[in-house]
Every structure is written in C-alpha cells, then in structure tokens.
C-alpha cells in the first residue's frame, strides 16, 4: 500500500526535524510555516511547502501541529481558513506542541462544537531536541481515546524511538500532563547548568575543567551535557533553543501548580530568573547563554593557577551544587506527577532517558516513587550528607557574593527535612493536604 499524505504546521527547530524525517521515510509531507526561509529549507529537503494552512490540510488523512504555543495553535486550527475546516472526514490530528493539558482538552471540545467530531485527535507532546526529531527518535507522550490511538499510533511510532513512545492513560490531556511534569526537570536543569558555570567562573574555574568534572559525577544531567556544547562555544545567537521556549514551558508548570495548590518552588524560582533574562532582551537567545547573568567573560577563557588540591575542592563545590539542585528537582517533578495523577513508574522510565534525565533522578527517583506509592516508609537518614555539601557550596557563594538562585532554594527545602533528613521528609514538603 502507498504511504498516506501528511500535513504539517510549524517548521521550527523541532518541527523541521520531524517533518523532514517523515519525508526521508518516503511520506509526501506538505508543510506550512509563516517564515519563508523555513519553507525554502523544507523544499530543499524534499518536502512540499505551503503558505496556506487550508491547502496544507486539504485531502490529508493525517495532520501534525508543532507550533510553539496554544496561542499559535488555536487560530491555526480553528480560524475559517485554518486546518480543521480543510481536513477530510475521519482525519487524524496530532497536536505535538507543549501546551497546558486544559488547552488540549479544549481542542477536543472545540472539534465537537465545530461539527468535526469525526476527527481523531491525539494529544502528543514530544521531547528530545532537534537532533532526535530529525532522527525519528523522539520521546513522545500521547493521550487520546482508544479509537484515535488506534488510528494514529503508527505515525507516533515513526517519529519516536522504539522504547520512547509513552501511551499515557487518561485520554486527551494526559499526554500534556506527562510532558508538564517532565518539563519540571528540564526547566530547573536548564538554569542549573548556567548557575553552576557562573558559580565556577566566580571561583576562578575554567569552563572546560568544570565540564570534565561534572560529566562523570552525581551532578550530571542531560541538560548539562547538551547545553554545555553551546555554553562553551558561546553559541547563543540565536542558538538552538530560545529562552522564550523554556519560559513558556515553565509558565505552564507554575500556572497549573497554582491552580491545583501545589508548591512548585524551584520552578517558580527558575521562572523569575527567566523573566530577568527576558528583561535584558535575551528572549530570542539560546537558553545556554543564561550564564551571562553571572559572567560577561566567556567561561572557557578563565585562567587560574590554583594548586591542584584547591582546584579539585572548588570543582567539587560545583558538583555538590548541581547534585543538591537535581535531588530537589526530582522530588518536585515526581510529587507533581502524583498530584495530577500521572503514573509514576512511567514518568521514571521516560525521564531517565530523556531531556530531563539526571544522575540524581536516576538514583533517587525510583526510591521516591516507592515512598509515594506507600511501598517504603524510608526510615533511613540519607540526606544529611547532601544537605551538608550543598550548605558548604551556598556558604562559599555567599562569601564571594555570587547569587545561587536554585542552590539557595534547594538548600532551604532540604533544611526543612530537619533531624529526620530523609527522602520521605523532603517529599512531605510537596504533599498537598
């Protein structure tokens, strides 16, 4: 059988990779974007460019929306000359943008009210970056009716790695909620790497030395390894992932958290720092450039003549800072997932090998889940050493007048564990009564 035609809206960094991957797999893909250079690139890659949403959707049994936000998705979908009116009867529509779960649910409702209940709709946000989008190895979190999933699962499989398609129970909205709790990790860890490099710069450490130390330590995260490639090269203009993108995702988290009474403490701190970057006019710059809040000097140009023992001690302070932040970020993500009804083992499987992954999430996350599921009372005191090390890093930062937004926030949360000093006591902070 011939492969079905696919319509595609949103040829940004991720969307371009997704759409061109499908072209390489032999599909006829018609792509829409408002930016002409993106259409030109798509045409050069073998796709069919379109300057009309309606034309991009006409006669397409499958359609993918990968715009930046719900504000962009709504008119693209429902304007008179938009996607929904042009789709053929019984088409399958995938919304792969990161949007609030409430918005995903509203799309399903609006389709019915527009007389297009025949459209099979799948809420399917993605994660993994432009490279994995182009390789067809994304992580995809999908929520839909059984009928819609039966129609569209093959297309999700085409764009995801074999073990990275997560069908989340709960229908439309569940996929977006899974992406939201994953982005708790991403939102915190994107800022944490700049905070770490900034702290290191104030300590007189060269960025390459910091990278080599962290990458093999408990301070490792996927975001640290990924964004470091641009931080060390100052590849910020425009870079690959604008500050406005992670700010949008962080806003989804903090807004949802307020609406359900959940204390997303580190995400709220991160959001305020992202606002500061926006105020400086950095919104379109790569988020790996947030280190400029701490150092105007390139982190790779910093020279020192520290004795080996002193240098190692300072590098360890940076590792301890990241370790403490990532420990608390794991608790924040997993606790929010429990609060909104996301299956915790599924989140763990997803995040361990996705953009929110970290050594601390991998090592502590599984035990956090057993505690929250009532399978472990966690009577052991295991956080004391983390508290001690993070306190030492924060004290050093205070001595040299270096701001540690996430580090200080994480330490304050860990200090609330008191003499108990256990994972259970940290998770108790996030429990909503």
Dihedral angle computed from the Cα positions of residues 152, 155, 157 and 159, in that order, rounded to the nearest 10 degrees: -140
Contacts of 294 (CB under 8 A, 6+ apart): 194, 195, 197, 198, 199, 201, 202, 402, 403
Interior angle at CA 286, CA 281 and CA 290, nearest 5: 70
| Contact of 163 with 184, CB cutoff 8 Å | no
H/E stretch holding 390: helix 384-399
**Residue 179 is a catalytic residue:** yes
| Contact of 140 with 124, CB cutoff 8 Å | yes
| Contact of 32 with 14, CB cutoff 8 Å | no
The tokens describing 297, both together, are: 């000097």
Dihedral angle computed from the Cα positions of residues 373, 432, 349 and 164, in that order, rounded to the nearest 10 degrees: 140
CA distance 121 to 15: 19
CA distance 323 to 390: 8
Choosing from 60, 151, 179, 389, which is the catalytic residue?
179
3-state secondary structure of 150: helix
Match 């991009």 to its residue by tokens: 56
Residues taking part in catalysis: 179
């Amino acid at each position: 059988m011939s492969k079905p035609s696919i319509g595609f809206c949103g040829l940004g960094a991720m969307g371009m990779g997704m759409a061109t991957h499908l072209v390489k797999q032999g599909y006829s893909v018609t792509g829409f974007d408002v930016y002409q250079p993106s259409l030109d690139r798509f045409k050069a890659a073998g796709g069919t460019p379109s300057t009309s949403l309606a034309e991009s959707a006409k006669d397409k049994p499958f359609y993918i929306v990968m715009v930046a936000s719900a504000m962009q998705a709504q008119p693209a979908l429902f304007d008179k000359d938009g996607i929904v009116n042009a789709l053929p009867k019984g088409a399958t529509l995938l919304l792969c943008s990161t949007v609030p779960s409430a918005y995903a649910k509203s799309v399903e409702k609006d389709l019915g009210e527009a007389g297009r209940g025949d459209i099979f709709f799948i809420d399917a946000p993605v994660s993994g970056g432009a490279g994995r989008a182009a390789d067809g190895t994304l992580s995809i979190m999908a929520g839909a009716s059984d009928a819609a999933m039966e129609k569209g699962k093959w297309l999700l499989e085409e764009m995801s790695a074999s073990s990275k398609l997560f069908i989340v129970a709960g229908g439309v909205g569940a996929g977006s909620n899974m992406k939201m709790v994953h982005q708790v990790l991403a939102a915190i860890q994107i800022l944490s790497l700049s905070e770490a490099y900034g702290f290191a710069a104030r300590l007189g450490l060269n960025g390459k030395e910091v990278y080599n130390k962290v990458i093999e330590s408990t301070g490792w995260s996927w975001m640290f390894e990924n964004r470091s490639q641009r931080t060390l090269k100052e590849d910020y203009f425009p870079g690959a992932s604008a500050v406005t993108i992670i700010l949008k995702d962080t806003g989804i988290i903090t807004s949802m958290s307020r609406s359900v009474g959940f204390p997303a403490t580190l995400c709220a701190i991160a959001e305020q720092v992202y606002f500061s970057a926006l105020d400086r006019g950095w919104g379109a710059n790569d988020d790996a450039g947030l280190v400029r809040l701490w150092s105007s000097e390139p982190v790779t140009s910093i020279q020192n003549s520290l004795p080996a023992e002193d240098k190692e001690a300072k590098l360890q302070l940076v590792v301890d800072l990241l370790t403490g932040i990532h420990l608390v970020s794991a608790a924040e993500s997993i606790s929010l997932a429990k609060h909104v009804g996301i299956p915790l083992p599924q989140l763990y499987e997803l995040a361990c090998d996705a953009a929110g992954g970290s050594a601390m999430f991998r090592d502590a996350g599984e035990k956090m889940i057993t505690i929250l599921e009532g399978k472990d009372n966690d009577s052991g005191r295991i956080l004391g050493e983390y508290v001690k090390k993070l306190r030492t890093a924060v004290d050093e930062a205070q001595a040299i007048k270096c701001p540690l937004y996430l580090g200080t926030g994480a330490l304050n949360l860990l200090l609330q564990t008191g003499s108990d000093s256990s994972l259970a006591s940290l998770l108790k902070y996030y429990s909503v009564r």
